[in-house]
């Protein structure tokens, strides 16, 4: 079982190895970051973008939340964490690609499909229920077409990617940059059961990379 | 410059090396996740928890957003991404530790201290401004005591950790579990300039690990 | 500059990371080794088979000496280090492949081509001179055809592989197993200047992998 | 089971990751090598110095043979592989430390202790027998004191280190440099059963690092 003291051990390894070995890289990173890719992934402990994509420090700007969700553009002055990160990455850092990474065995997608926390108060599932309500429309489509079995589960997980990408495009600065050829949106899905990465094509279909 | 095709190359390395080599681990992870630690970190491309703590797949449940912020408990039925992740990690996965990891050269902390996006519309800095408003009280304290120089910048970055931890404890299930000895809250700060990790003590002071 | 104390630091990283992470593998290795490949490489600090081939503990049985040389079969009762390792790997461990790995900028090949240590006493170059005398015939062929320029240097380096493979086959148990389809001999060359691995074909020609 | 094609896969990982990531280092190495440490280790697939010491390309000059043995200085003009490597590393590369690394479950030490290949012809154990005859004196001491049980096995393995270090010092240039403070000889032992590295002190005793 890994606890915080194990993380400190890990930090010591990082300091004596990776950090020392990549001192040129870290010296550059101390000047500032200039990632070209933003990744929106799930908080699931098994879906670590830097591990699945074997990246180095400074290469990807990362947002992680339950079910890798992007809410739609809302100019209500409210606190929107994903919107803030997206705005910063695309309009300030000017990343050239945004990748939405879904995955198998997603607890958030499961909660959306089953509505298991429908009657749960905030603090006992209610927050998860409210958050995955972003998937309500998708869920209705999925249940109508696939019911609630394994096929529906997989489809629901793929819908987290399609829904987030749809919402990404409600932010005016996204389609504007896509049209100008300065930004590309990617969809991907990591199947935990067999460790295979799938890529989404223009039609929203996923195929093994 | 790393782009999506480089990430795909990285995935192929992951498949032929890490995934193959840790097949026992991945076989277990395919059964489910049971991380004992949740990490709340910044989206900054240089602050990758799994790299700084040298962790393995399945070891840490991760939330990443601008300035590693946790909003306070709000039972307004709204969509709260961090609250959903926190609720899921603590009450469903029952993690035993929550680590808030701040870092140096934080764009979010900078935006909070300088209020640089004060008059920016949503889509051009407005979302960042609204998001970091979670740091308004802290900013006022910092400016009153340190002004706006380098010392203020560092203090503002440390305040992102202290503020998030303060807000974490507004979720009833957090102090309840802390009292029961089932949950521990940790504060940490990664100084990008020299790669040194600092740990927060009970008084909220940070010292090199 | 890496010294022994740095190696001890490296060992501590190995203990807290690789060793712990691959405990199943190490538990198996504690039962015994059963590598399927033997690699004969140079002692050069830049030509580490486990790094170039990204192998794991237990995967390759390795001999390393100056210029990755294999002396011919000699039943004179003398102490033959390479012969002992080859005999043990092929007839006791029953490896299925033997790889001879040459490389660019090889000091041993250079000494063979230039005969720079021709008049040096043992302890000041004489041992190297005597050792690379295994390449005398090859050197004569190379100089006759390529002179002593860069082309000759590369050819001399490739000859270290061809010569060792020729000598490998003077050990009766090698051709016997090759004929029986139980052993395969491979030739490879790592060009340090550009980091490209070349593989030797049946004709003794080398092409990028 | 790892075969040559797996090594080629490993090479592709090396090319797209380590080589690319450490291009500054490789650019320097393309100029020449200047390791400060020479390691003499066993060919055993489980005792990879670069893995146990977590080293980088260019850091250690490595000799590997059965039982990490160093024959004594012999100026008979014969082909002495270890002598050539030692001469090159110490007098040409001017390494500052030579580490002899022994290990547990060593087949060579076992052969020396049991004399199992005493009557075996070259090609069926005879080469190993002749090679480990370097340990004859040590074996007699060990058997006289410990018999042939587990304690004797461990002692025999430690003797491979002590014997090699004793022989190292028969090369005039070794004690000369030790006296001048330009060279240090180290003894170490890796216990495969529990993965613990032991270091040898001045008295030839080994203790966990």
Same domain, A15 and A70: no
pLDDT in tens, chain A (209 residues): 789 999 999 999 999 888 888 888 899 999 999 999 999 999 999 999 999 999 999 999 999 999 999 999 998 888 999 999 999 999 999 999 999 999 999 999 999 999 999 999 999 999 999 999 999 999 999 999 999 899 999 999 999 999 999 999 999 999 999 999 999 999 999 999 999 999 999 999 999 99
User: What number is the average pLDDT over the span D122-142?
Assistant: 97
Q: Which of B17, B24, B56 sits opposite C54 (nearest CB)?
A: B17
Please indicate whether, in this complex, the C-beta atoms of A16 and C17 are within 8 angstroms of each other: no
Q: Residue B54: list chain A partners with CB under 8 A.
A: 10-11, 13-14, 18
Q: Which CATH number is D190's domain given?
A: 3.40.1050.10
**C106 assigned to a ligand binding site:** yes
Helix or strand run (H / E) with residue A26:
helix A23-29
Q: Is C61 on the interface with D (CB under 8 A)?
A: yes
A19: nearest CB among B124, B128, B195: B195
Same domain, B62 and B161: yes
How far, in Å, CA of D144 to CA of D147, rounded? 6
Per-residue model confidence as pLDDT tens digits over D187-208: 999 999 999 999 999 999 999 9
Domain that holds residue A14: 1-32
Q: Is D54 annotated as a binding residue?
A: no
Q: For A88, which of B57, B107, B122 is closest by C-beta distance?
A: B107
Whats the size of chain A, residue-wise? Answer: 209
Total of domains in chain C: 2
Domain check: are D77 and D102 in the same one? Answer: yes
- Measure CB to CB from residue B24 to each of C24, C54, C56 and give the nearest one: C24
* pLDDT at D40 (0 to 100): 98
What are the pLDDT digits (tens) for B3-50? 999 999 999 999 988 888 888 889 999 999 999 999 999 999 999 999
User: Which of B14, B23, B29, B54 has the most C C-beta neighbours within 10 Å, making it the best mutation to test the interface with C?
Assistant: B54
Q: Tens of pLDDT along C34-90?
A: 999 999 999 999 999 999 999 999 999 999 999 999 999 998 888 999 999 999 999
CA distance readout (Å), B5 to A7, A97, B1, D102: 31, 11, 11, 44
Query: How far is CA A98 from its chain centroid?
Result: 10
Cβ contact D107–C88 (<8 Å): yes
Based on the fold, state whether residues B111 and B149 are members of the same structural domain. yes
Same domain for B164 and B68, yes or no, is: yes
Print pLDDT tens along chain C (209 aa). Answer: 789 999 999 999 999 888 888 888 999 999 999 999 999 999 999 999 999 999 999 999 999 999 999 999 998 888 999 999 999 999 999 999 999 999 999 999 999 999 999 999 999 999 999 999 999 999 999 999 999 899 999 999 999 999 999 999 999 999 999 999 999 999 999 999 999 999 999 999 999 99
**Shared domain check, C22 and C64:** no
C12: chain A residues, CB-CB within 8 Å: 16
Non-local CB neighbours of D2 within 8 Å, separated by 6+ positions: C35, C36, C37, C55, C56, C59, C60
Nearest CA in chain C to D196: C15
**Shortest CA distance from B25: residue in chain C:** C21
**Residue A3, annotated ligand binder?**
no
B57 vs chain C: nearest CA distance in angstroms?
11
Chain D CB within 8 Å of residue B15 CB: no
Assess D71–C contact: CB distance below 8 Å, yes or no. yes
Of A11, A75, A105, the CB nearest to B53: A11
| Closest chain B C-alpha to D13 CA, distance in angstroms | 5
* Section B96-108 average pLDDT: 98
Both A47 and A3 in a single domain? no
H or E segment to which residue B61 belongs: strand B60-65
Does D15 touch chain A if contact means CB atoms closer than 8 Å? no
Model pLDDT, residue C166: 98
Say whether D56 and A22 touch across the interface (CB within 8 A): no
> How many C-beta atoms surround the C-beta of residue B147 within 10 A?
10
Residues A57, A22: one domain? no
Q: Is the pLDDT of residue D147 over 90?
A: yes
Taking CB atoms and an 8 Å limit, are A24 and D24 in contact across chains? yes
Contacts of A24 in chain D (CB under 8 A): 24
Q: Please, are residues B45 and A57 in contact by the beta-carbon 8 Å criterion?
A: yes
pLDDT of B115: 97
For strands B196-200 and B206-208, give the pairing: antiparallel
Q: Is C42 annotated as a binding residue?
A: yes
Say yes or no: A56 contacts chain D, CB-CB below 8 A: yes
Instruction: Average the pLDDT over D93-108 and give the result.
Output: 98
Chain A residues within an 8 Å CB radius of D55: none
**Same-domain pairing of B53 and B12:** no
How would DSSP label each residue in D142-195? HHHHHTTSHHHHHHHHHHHHHHHHHHHTTSTHHHHHHHTTS-EEEEEEEETTTT
Task: Looking at the complex, report in whole angstroms how far the Cα of residue A159 sits from the nearest Cα belonging to chain B.
Answer: 18
Same domain, D108 and D7: no
Do B133 and B171 fall within a single domain?
Answer: yes
Interface test with B, best of A7, A41, A103, A181 (most B CBs within 10 A): A7
A29 membership: H or E segment, kind and range: helix A23-29
* pTM assigned to the model: 0.89
Specify whether A84 is located in the same domain as A104: yes
For chain C, the straight-line distance linking the first and the last C-alpha, in angstroms and rounded, comes to 32
Q: What is the pLDDT of residue C23?
A: 83
Picking from B1, B4, B49, B90 by the largest number of A CB atoms within 10 A of its own CB, the best residue to mutate is: B4
The upper half-sphere exposure of residue B27, i.e. CA atoms within 13 Å in the direction of its Cβ, equals 5
> Taking CB atoms and an 8 Å cutoff, what residues of chain A touch B99?
4, 7
């Amino acid at each position: 079982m890994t606890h915080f003291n194990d993380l400190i051990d890990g930090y010591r390894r990082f300091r004596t190895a990776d950090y020392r070995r990549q001192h040129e890289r870290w010296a550059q990173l101390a000047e500032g970051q200039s990632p070209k890719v933003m990744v929106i992934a799930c908080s699931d402990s098994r879906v670590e973008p830097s591990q699945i994509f074997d990246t180095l420090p400074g290469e990807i700007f990362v947002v992680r939340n339950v079910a890798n969700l992007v809410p739609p553009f809302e100019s209500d002055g409210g606190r929107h964490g994903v919107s803030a990160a997206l705005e910063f990455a695309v309009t300030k850092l000017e990343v050239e690609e945004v990748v939405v990474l879904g995955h198998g065995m997603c607890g958030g997608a499961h909660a959306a499909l089953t509505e298991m926390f429908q009657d749960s108060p905030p603090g006992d599932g209610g927050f998860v229920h409210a958050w995955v309500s972003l998937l309500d429309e998708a869920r209705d489509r999925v249940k109508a077409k696939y019911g609630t079995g394994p096929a529906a589960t997989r489809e629901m997980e793929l819908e987290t990617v399609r829904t987030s990408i749809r919402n990404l495009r409600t932010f005016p600065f996204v389609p504007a940059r896509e049209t100008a050829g300065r930004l590309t949106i990617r969809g991907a899905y990591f199947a935990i059961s067999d460790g295979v990465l799938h890529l989404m094509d223009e039609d929203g279909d996923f195929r093994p990379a």
